[in-house]
Amino acid sequence: MISRQQVEAQLCDRQQAYVAFMCDHLKNWRAWAQASDRMERGEAVAREEVEPFFQTEYEWMRIALEMQARGEFDWSDPRLGKLFAAAAQTEFYRFWGDQITAIALEMADLANAGSLLEVGAGRGNLTATMLQKLTDRGSALPVVLTDAHQTLIDRQPQLAATYPDVPLQAQLWNFCEPPPAQLRDNLPRPVVAYERASITYATVGALEHLAAVADVVVLGDYFNYTGEQFGYDRISARVGVKPLMYADARPLLERLFDEVWEFDREATERLGVPNISLVIAWRNGV
């Protein structure tokens, strides 16, 4: 049985470091938010006006606005593929991925987990971070990768060859839908699931499908905690990436799990930044 006290004690130092990182890097977040409002209105905003920490979001919005001006949005545009690949190598994404995977492993220790489940594995950037950690530990904890696209299946043999000591499987699963029986019935329990920026491209309701297979979840996503929205939120919503409202997610998580911890809420409240970026939820009985 995992108590809230155990989890907070285990992750106390990591939480303090995470909050400190967020407070340092997000302290000028409102300047970018206001610049995104100007971009939405059609005003010119030079890249040099935007702090480096927010320039990936700036490029995303610039490309989205350009596509909308032409009357269409094309997810297959090579500029987006290049942008997403570059985003995965930014300071924040590397730090975020390191923390998500480290927390998932610490929760796996507390739960005596039988397997790890990665949701929305995509090109395998977060996967590689997790597999390296498991290899460094000398751990043979099985990892099951899921995604809605064939790219994951194509990538799995290369990952398995690079990290041969970690049992690794891959299965197609769009977690906007219930998990396939093959996945649901064959995962060694307890299951610790983790993800980064996957619910963003699904819906909050996907949490219910995730809870059908996972006993612990480590959610790395931008949940809008305050309700305040800016130009980047509205532009993203127009192309199908609607803000994840924490007011919708929290009741669902409370129904599906026994404990819910907003890992970086202190940073959100200190800075007034709209989002929470890391949430942990678990069942006490594991």
Comparing 69 with 253, the larger pLDDT belongs to 253
Quick one: pLDDT at residue 164? Answer: 97
Mean pLDDT of the 206-221 span: 97
pLDDT of residue 161: 96
Q: What is the pLDDT of residues 86-121, one digit of tens each?
A: 888 899 999 999 999 999 999 999 999 999 999 999
DSSP assignments along the chain, one per residue? ---HHHHHHHHHHHHHHHHHHHHHHSTTHHHHHHHHHHHHTT----GGGS-GGGHHHHHHHHHHHHHHHHT---TT-HHHHHHHHHHTTSHHHHHHHHHHHHHHHHHHHHHT-SEEEEES-TTSHHHHHHHHHHHHHT----EEEEESSTHHHHHHHHHHHHSTTS-EEEEE--TTSPPPHHHHHHSPSSEEEEEES-GGGS-TTHHHHHHTT-SEEEEES-EESS----HHHHHHHHTT---EEHHHHHHHHHHH-SEEEETTHHHHHHH--SEE--EEEE-TT-
pLDDT: which is higher, 73 or 34: 34
Summary mean pLDDT of the chain: 95
Q: What is the pLDDT of residues 121-155, one digit of tens each?
A: 988 999 999 999 999 999 999 999 999 998 888 89
CATH topology for 4-26+91-282?
Answer: Rossmann fold (3.40.50)
pLDDT at 95: 97
What are the domain boundaries of the chain?
4-26+91-282
pLDDT at residue 66 is higher than 90: yes
At 265, the pLDDT band (50, 70, 90 cuts) reads very high
Determine the pLDDT at residue 71: 82
pLDDT at 285: 79
The confidence score (pLDDT) of residue 106 equals 98
pLDDT at 230 over 90: yes
**pLDDT for 72:** 84
What pLDDT is stored for residue 156 in this prediction? 92
d(CA 14, CA 128): 21
